[in-house]
């Protein structure tokens, strides 16, 4: 945590000794008891704000319970301090990721007429194609304010939103097979693969928060997730010079976790809450960037951090003395959510020192649909 979560100071020396260990918290019974009693997390300095790289094979393939617990605590520490981690050795084959990127690129190369047939229509469904300028991500929840932001500085990106395919109420919008061969099959497989990683990371978080490892299993099993394919077209730099303009504005995500697969172009930046400055989350081959979302922050009473982030344009290539053009960028985000009707209320191990929860209970659907209604035209 970047700020202490309790007024109790009696265990601070213990916490400082814990924080001196490189990369993990000790797992002694005394340390656990101290944390459970006080809910105190030591601070980190401004210049120590770095996204940690976590080798998740040490959790997946742990030979002992202690080894698994150490990695789980490392995962929680990353979300506590920064809100973001790089996950290496995560178990998703690189060939699977490459295929998803290839099929995504093929989809966005379709004529706009064919993509527009699949247009996003309903925040409750949150499915379909979103053309450049239709979305304006922001922290605001005011529809009029977002409308003004969208008109002045729309997000320069297009996306394709895919949900669970067996939903009896809301259906995915798929391109015809002859237009995008293999697209549907590849994306459904990738959706399932990402869900399985989500379950594993949530089990690690549960263990790191001193809950039963399977605590979240029956709260995320409905796969109420959103697979978002993203394409950032090349754009002249003059179009990015307007006030508040970015390829995707500063925002936090809505759900539990976001799994972000980046290409090599870059552009993702994460805000340092100490300074307000945005720092690059440079692509690291073989890793997935994972960040905590708003509902996980609420669930954990802000013990886990939902950090602001944005996408900015990478360096442009000059095309004249006064103009440049940015390269195209691709990314794939898998927005992990709790079950549609799950009640998000403070976890028992995350209450403050006086036993208080910072937020009233809310269901997943109430929170996410409310945010989506204000975000899109």
Write down the pLDDT at residue 157. Answer: 85
**Which residues face 333 on adjacent strands?**
228, 260
Whether residues 124 and 29 share a domain: the answer is no
Do 10 and 146 lie in one domain? The reply is: no
CATH number at residue 208: 2.60.120.330
Residue 26 binned pLDDT confidence (cut-offs 50, 70, 90): very low
**Global confidence as pTM:** 0.81
Q: Are residues 14 and 84 both part of a single domain? A: no
Work out the average pLDDT over 281-291. 96
- In order, the DSSP letters of 284-324 are -TT-EEEEE-HHHHHHTTTSS----EEE-PPPPEESSSS-E
User: Do 61 and 21 belong to one domain?
Assistant: no
Q: Are 376 and 135 in contact (CB under 8 A)?
A: yes
Range of the domain at 37: 1-43
* Mean residue pLDDT across the chain: 82
Residue 9: how many other CB atoms lie within 10 Å? 11
Mean pLDDT along residues 194-203: 98
Q: Is the same domain home to 329 and 364? A: yes
pLDDT digits (tens, 9 = 90+) for 105-156: 999 999 999 999 999 998 889 999 998 765 444 444 455 544 444 444 456 7
**Does position 23 have pLDDT exceeding 60, yes or no?**
no
Q: Based on the structure, what is the number of domains in the chain? A: 2
Residue 306 pLDDT: 96
pLDDT by residue (tens digit) across 29-63? 333 333 333 333 334 445 568 999 999 999 999 99
Closest Cα to residue 368, out of 161, 176, 174? 161
Q: How confident is the model at residue 28 (pLDDT cuts 50, 70, 90)?
A: very low
Instruction: Say yes or no: 55 and 38 in one domain.
Output: no
Q: Tell me: pLDDT of 290 over 90.
A: yes
């Amino acid at each position: 945590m970047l700020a202490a979560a309790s007024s109790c100071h009696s265990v601070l020396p213990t916490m400082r000794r814990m924080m001196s260990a490189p990369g993990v918290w000790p797992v002694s019974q005394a340390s656990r008891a101290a944390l459970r009693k006080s809910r105190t997390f030591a601070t980190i300095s401004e210049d120590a704000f770095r996204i940690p790289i976590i080798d998740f094979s040490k959790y997946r393939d742990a030979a002992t319970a202690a080894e698994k617990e150490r990695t789980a605590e490392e995962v929680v520490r990353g979300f506590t301090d920064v809100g973001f981690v790089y996950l290496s050795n995560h178990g998703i084959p690189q060939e699977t990721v490459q295929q998803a990127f290839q099929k995504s690129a093929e989809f966005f190369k379709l004529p706009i007429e064919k993509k527009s047939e699949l247009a996003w229509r309903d925040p409750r469904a949150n499915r379909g194609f979103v053309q450049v300028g239709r979305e304006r991500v922001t922290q605001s929840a005011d529809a009029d304010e977002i409308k003004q932001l969208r008109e002045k500085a729309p997000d320069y990106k297009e996306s394709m939103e895919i949900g669970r395919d067996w939903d009896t109420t809301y259906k995915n919008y798929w391109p015809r097979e002859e237009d995008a061969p293999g697209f549907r099959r590849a994306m459904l497989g990738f959706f399932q693969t990402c869900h399985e990683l989500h379950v594993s990371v949530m089990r690690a978080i549960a263990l790191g928060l001193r809950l039963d490892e399977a605590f979240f299993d029956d709260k995320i099993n409905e796969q109420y997730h959103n697979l978002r394919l993203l394409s950032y077209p090349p754009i002249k730099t003059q179009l990015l010079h307007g006030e508040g303009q970015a390829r995707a504005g500063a925002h936090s995500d809505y759900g539990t976790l976001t799994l972000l697969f980046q290409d090599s172009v870059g552009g993702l930046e994460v805000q340092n809450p100490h300074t307000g400055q945005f720092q690059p989350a440079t692509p690291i081959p073989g890793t997935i960037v994972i960040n905590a979302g708003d509902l996980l922050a609420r669930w954990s009473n802000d013990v886990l951090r939902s950090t602001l982030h944005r996408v900015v344009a990478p360096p442009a290539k000059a095309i004249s003395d006064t103009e440049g053009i940015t390269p195209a960028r691709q990314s794939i985000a898998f927005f992990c959510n709790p079950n549609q009707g799950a009640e998000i209320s403070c976890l028992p191990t995350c209450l403050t020192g006086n036993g208080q929860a910072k937020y009233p209970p809310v269901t997943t659907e109430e929170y996410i649909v409310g945010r989506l209604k204000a975000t899109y035209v």
